Amino acid sequence: MSDRPNILFINTDQHSWDAISAYGNRYLQTPNIDLLHRNGTSFSKSYCSDPVCAAARSSWATGLYTSETGVLFNGGHLHANIPDIGQVLRASGYRVFHCGKWHVPGRDVRESFDTLYYGRHNIGAGGAAFFDSASTHAVADFLTNYDGKEPFYLQIGYIDPHDVCEYLHNHEEKRIPNPIEQGILTEDDLPPLPENFHYDERETVLHRVCKRIDNQLIHEKIKKAVRNWDELHWRYLKWSYYRFIEKVDAEIGKVLSLLKQTSFCDRTLIVFSADHGESCGSHQLFQKFDLYEESVRVPFIVSCLGDEVDVGKDHMNETHFVSGVDLFPTVCDYADIEIPASCQGMSIKPIVEGKETAWREYAYVESNYWGRAVVTDEYKYVTEYKPKEVEDFIPPGPNSDRLGLVQLFSKQDDPWEKRNLAEQPEYQEVINSCRDKLLSQESQLNRQPITHKGPQNVISNWGRHLREYWENEI
Amino acid sequence: MNESNSLHWSFDYNHGSQKPDFAQELIQLLHEYIDNSSNADLNKDVGKHYCRQTYQILPNFWRGYVRQNNPEGTSYIGKVVVERQKHNGDTWKYNVHYQNSTNGEDIRLHFCCRDDDYRSLHESWNVEVNNSCVDQYSRLRCEGYFYKDTEIRLRYNDIEITVATLDDTLPITCRWALFDVIPKISEEIKKSAESLNIQLLDDLEQYRPKNTVGYLETIESPIPLDGYYLHGIGALPSYWWVDANNNVAIVSSVFETLVLRETVGDCP
């Protein structure tokens, strides 16, 4: 039997950090994710690299930010010369398995992994109701048959709670009564409106064009539908979102129950995370594609149900900023593989083991190609690059001359991000400091030109809309 | 009610200019069912205490589905057959066959229920799944049973797990037995306006601790139907519509709508 641990990476889709009962949320029950928390270390300052499926997943797979992977939105394309986690682990002697959602366009998961289950067609967005239980079946088949001779890396990509998107699409062309009108729930059953339902409209141009204006770039039809919602509809959205999470928690529970009965449970490291969060009414937004906390802050738990992998138990780490780019180097570290020098992420293994280690002072997040955020202990800084006059298809940055509007929030005084401080002169130094951090981080990134026509067309189209808004509205 | 196609919002999944037209297909299926139900030949060789119902599975949204060999103008993605037969006077034996071309799984469930209003799950059961996708997972067998009447245990190959400790104040049934449970209790919950709580072993594998069933409303179009809802921990609302013959004619959940195609025998 190998000395190296098995590694099980369980991920959910569109799962906000606070939607876990062990973290104090009393409107849902997640006993199985709670079990992972009790047997491991959770990170409260955990951020995705980019709040949309394909982009965030490209960072998991490579340890790079999305400016580097080439997958800066769902239609992106992973650069062919970047190795992925499956290739690297397999080359080191691990058996590497994938099950469920992958969604890293440009890379065939079946070439990098042995696939336990990947659907009739490549599993993409939506369809948890069909695919998640099938994924659990595939994992049950695997766990009850694996001989344990070689260490394995298995990643399970559950789709829920992403089906909340289908719930939203369902409202596009019909009016669905709120649950009180339906008579199926009482007001007491529903979570309250988010604290930050009302918001500061001084947002970046990118955010307005993508998510606020008439004919916005992303999900215009849903926005039109929710304009007619009453307060109970918004609360029902959250109630429904939590049911999707309970559903996937139950799937995770079956996997953990089976794992516990295997001979290799004690030496299996479990990492749990999500690609991005869900706005669920905060700032009157739905889904993701934005840089507010609900969209970018995700669970990250490192756990072991046995005692042969050294992880701090029942611990909430509130100190270290963790990013989606950290999955790849962390897995390499546990697998005793040298972390590629190009990797932007850092191994969190020393932190989980309670050791001192040098660490980053802020989280860096990208969004919708031009959007950027830096999160420090004191402030959240959100900005954007202006689109180029002539697009060269090299992801923007670092270039202070091209930065656009700014949102600045105080983490201590305004955790719900309701008051943009950017226009107050006394915060100019804070903004300068955050901007320097942004540019410093970006100066370390290796950007390659986007060469595929599909992504180029998205960038050209979105860039045209942004330029028009800058010219006519600002 | 959607004025353009007369479908209730709970099972109206027409989406813009999508083809085939969901409403048209659903209404056609219902009318075919009504026409077939007057065909006495279907029941001539069927003994008492036997029932078989076949449902077509329609996709609720416009993307992500896989269809196989569909006739032109149809969008269905599979079917489910729910067969039950009374056994020894106080037990119903169920055989359910669920085929869904989208995820590639072909599932057969075999289980027993007591002859009570809630079709309480009884003794042991098994699930056989075959997967037609090209990946490693091709089949799975699961056996389940009650341990000391307080726990539900499942066995996959040689590994056994406990999936639930039962709440002894609530009946425990299976999603596929609800095709009999809801018609049985419908009058009672419609009259009382009270909802009822049950425990569910969804698909005989996934335990849902507390689900609520209640009356929704009555509609006259496309055919007269009484609507009921079901939701709970880990379960988004699904809507169950019972026709004048006390058969569940439509079940609408997040991703699929089941529409009754055929009833054979004397349904409980």
Residue B17, pLDDT > 70, answer no
In a domain, B3, yes or no: no
Task: Tell me if the bond preceding A179 is cis, omega within 30° of 0.
Answer: no
Asked if B137 and A141 come within 8 Å (Cβ–Cβ), the reply is yes
- Residue B73, number of CB atoms within 10 A of its CB: 11
State the burial class of residue A312 (Cβ atoms within 10 Å of its Cβ: 0-12, 13-18, 19+): middle
Structural domains of chain A, with CATH: 6-165+235-352 (3.40.720.10), 363-473 (3.30.1120)
| Distance of residue B83 Cα from the nearest chain A Cα, in angstroms | 22
Amino acid identity, residue A34?
D
DSSP readout, B103-152? T-EEEEEEEEEESSTT--EEEEEEEEEEE-SSSS--EEEEEEEEETTTEE
User: Residue A138: helix, strand or coil by DSSP?
Assistant: helix
Sorting pLDDT into bands at 50, 70 and 90, what band is B171?
very high
Complex ipTM over 0.90 = yes
In a domain, B136, yes or no: yes
d(CA B75, CA B25): 8
CB A365 within 8 A of CB A296: yes
Most B CBs within 10 A among A135, A141, A237, hence the mutation to make, goes to A141
Residue B38, pLDDT > 90, answer no
d(CA B198, CA B170): 5
Asked if B161 and A170 come within 8 Å (Cβ–Cβ), the reply is no
Residue B54, pLDDT > 50, answer yes
Please state the domain count of chain B.
1
d(CA A15, CA A355): 29
In total, the C-beta contacts within 8 angstroms joining chain A to chain B are: 154
- Predicted confidence (pLDDT) per residue in A338-388, tens digit: 999 999 999 999 999 999 999 999 999 999 999 999 999 999 999 999 999
Neighbouring residues of B186: CB distance < 8 A, sequence distance ≥ 6? B215, B226, B228, B242, B246
d(CA B81, CA B94): 10
Q: Kindly list the averaged pLDDT for each block of 10 residues, start to end, along chain A of length 474.
A: 88 98 98 98 98 98 98 96 97 97 97 95 84 97 93 98 93 92 96 98 98 95 94 98 98 98 96 98 97 98 97 97 98 97 96 97 98 98 97 96 97 98 98 98 97 97 98 95
User: Residue A232: helix, strand or coil by DSSP?
Assistant: helix
- Enumerate long-range contacts of A100-103, CB under 8 Å, 24 or more apart: A100/A131, A100/A132, A100/A135, A100/A156, A100/A157, A100/A158, A100/A159, A101/A13, A101/A53, A101/A131, A101/A157, A101/A158, A101/A159, A102/A57, A102/A157, A103/A53, A103/A54, A103/A57, A103/A74, A103/A157
| Distance of residue B66 Cα from the nearest chain A Cα, in angstroms | 7
> Which residues are bridge partners to A152 per DSSP?
A95
Output the pLDDT for position A121: 81
Output the pLDDT for position B89: 87
Which helix H or strand E contains B226, and what residues bound it? strand B225-232
A305 in reach of chain B (CB within 8 A): no
Task: Output the CA–CA distances (angstroms, integers) from residue A424 to A46, A289, A431, in the order listed.
Answer: 29, 27, 10
Residue B35, pLDDT > 90, answer no
Sorting pLDDT into bands at 50, 70 and 90, what band is B36?
confident
Output the pLDDT for position A2: 64
- Predicted confidence (pLDDT) per residue in B211-252, tens digit: 999 999 999 999 999 999 999 999 999 999 999 999 999 999
B228 neighbourhood in chain A, CB within 8 Å: none
Residue B3, pLDDT > 60, answer no
Instruction: Name the least confident of A289-298, A381-390, B20-29, B134-143.
Output: B20-29
Asked if B161 and A250 come within 8 Å (Cβ–Cβ), the reply is no
A141 neighbourhood in chain B, CB within 8 Å: 136-137, 139-140, 156
Among all residues of chain B, which has the CA nearest to that of A128?
B255
Asked if A129 and B132 come within 8 Å (Cβ–Cβ), the reply is no
Tell me which residue has tokens 């032109």.
Answer: B72
A172 neighbourhood in chain B, CB within 8 Å: 15
Most A CBs within 10 A among B161, B203, B240, hence the mutation to make, goes to B161
Range of the domain at B236: 9-42+51-265
CB B29 within 8 A of CB B22: no
**Which token pair is B218?**
């009555």
Work out the percent of chain B whose per-residue pLDDT is above 90: 74
Between these two residues, B42 and A108, which has the higher pLDDT value? A108
A122 in reach of chain B (CB within 8 A): no
Asked if B64 and A143 come within 8 Å (Cβ–Cβ), the reply is no
- Residue B145, number of CB atoms within 10 A of its CB: 14
Most B CBs within 10 A among A32, A33, A99, A130, hence the mutation to make, goes to A130
> Which residues are bridge partners to A407 per DSSP?
A382
Which helix H or strand E contains A68, and what residues bound it? helix A66-69
In a domain, B16, yes or no: yes
Output the pLDDT for position B68: 72
Asked if A240 and B135 come within 8 Å (Cβ–Cβ), the reply is no
